[in-house]
């Protein structure tokens, strides 16, 4: 788990996103977005884990027999993961 948090910025109206050591990752001026940005690394890891769990379950044959890679939700998850990883 990546420990990103929000921290006040003393010179502007924005907030910093910091890592677990207090190092600044970025400055955000729309405070409504800061919780989402701070949670992004954890959400990426959770999406990767859930996608793998789902695909592995489908491929096990315990819930039918189909290609999980053809399911729209798996395609969306894979696209979001690729986008987050800069691919």
Q: For 17-75, what is each residue's pLDDT tens digit?
A: 888 888 888 888 877 888 888 888 999 999 999 999 999 998 888 777 789 999 999 99
What is the pLDDT, as a whole number, of residue 11? 64
Q: Which residue has the higher pLDDT, 12 or 45?
A: 45
Give the start-end residues of each E strand in the chain.
Answer: 5-8, 15-18, 24-28
Q: Which residue has the higher pLDDT, 61 or 12?
A: 61
CA distance 87 to 74: 17
Q: Quick one: DSSP state of residue 19?
A: -
* 3-state SS class at 14: coil
| Own/partner long-range contacts of 4-12 (Cβ < 8 Å, ≥24 apart) | 4/37, 4/38, 4/39, 4/40, 4/41, 4/42, 5/38, 6/34, 6/35, 6/38
User: Residue 1 above 60 pLDDT?
Assistant: no
């Amino acid at each position: 788990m990546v420990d990103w948090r929000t921290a006040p910025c003393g010179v502007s109206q924005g907030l910093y996103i910091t890592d677990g050591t207090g190092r600044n990752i970025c400055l955000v001026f729309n405070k409504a977005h800061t919780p989402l940005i701070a949670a992004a690394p954890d959400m990426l890891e959770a999406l990767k884990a859930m996608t793998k769990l789902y695909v592995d379950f489908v491929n096990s044959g315990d819930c039918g027999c189909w290609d999980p890679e053809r399911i729209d939700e798996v395609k969306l998850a894979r696209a979001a993961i690729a986008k987050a990883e800069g691919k």
